[in-house]
Amino acid sequence: MVWKVKRMLNWGSERELRRAIRLIDELAGEVIRQRKLGFASNQDLLSRFMASTDDDKYLRDIVISFLLAGRDTVASALTTFFLLLSKHPQVATAIRVEVDKFTGEIPDYDDLRGMHYVHAALFESMRLFPPDDVLADGTFVCKDTRVTYHAYAMGRMETIWGSDCLDFKPERWLRDGAFSGGSFKYPVFQAGFRVCIGKEMAIMEMKSVIVSVVRDFDVEVVGGVGYTPRFASGLTASLAGGLPAIVRRRSKV
């Protein structure tokens, strides 16, 4: 194969890949070094991992996981969420109605857990625009079998979601007003033994941002309902060029 020759000769794209990997390793190593020197709080996740092991390679892998899985996916998911919200103002209104039921200026963990409609709207957004591709159907796979699947397509299959599979409809996740969902047919966070270990943290992070923004601002996508997103190739499904939007502070009534 061509890539094997390139790797052997350290040439072209393989040389660039090697440089990129070295840069990421150096960044991860610097983060670990600063933690060991006491330049950060010992209450963060990395510090807790460091308290349990002295294996720098393991810690480096943890840092890289934080950078790739915990940052870009959340940003991509929030970007497409506000894209859909701009096209469905009634959902923004419903979110504000729910948020107004909680009196605290800054919602705490229990408040966020109690916001079922926000949770449903977030899951509905990720159904239509999953920020990552994962496998979680429990199918037995033989040794050495190459497996791939398309979370974006799965989230839009009529056989799974019904005739309204292309509609942004947070209510599909609610049962008697409470959130209910996240089964194996929804593979964004995987499921079962392979469920994403950062699932709950990511959900709380995104709900916190959604509540803070929707409560105080209107987000209008440039181009309105006619705006068509273009995706950039990469590890996560991010929008090419970002999301052009106008953000206006809501007037207090």
Annotated binding site: 196
Nearest residue to 182 via CA among 128, 127, 138: 127
Cα 28 from chain centroid? 21
Contact assessment for residue 133 and residue 69, using Cβ atoms and an 8 Å cutoff:
no
Name beta bridge partners: 232.
238
Nearest residue to 216 via CA among 44, 53, 92: 92
Cα 79 from chain centroid? 10
Q: Which tokens hold the place of 57? A: 């390679």
Q: What residues form the annotated binding site for heme?
A: 196
* CA 21 – CA 101 distance, rounded (Å): 48
Please provide the size of the chain in residues. Answer: 253
Contact assessment for residue 116 and residue 176, using Cβ atoms and an 8 Å cutoff:
no
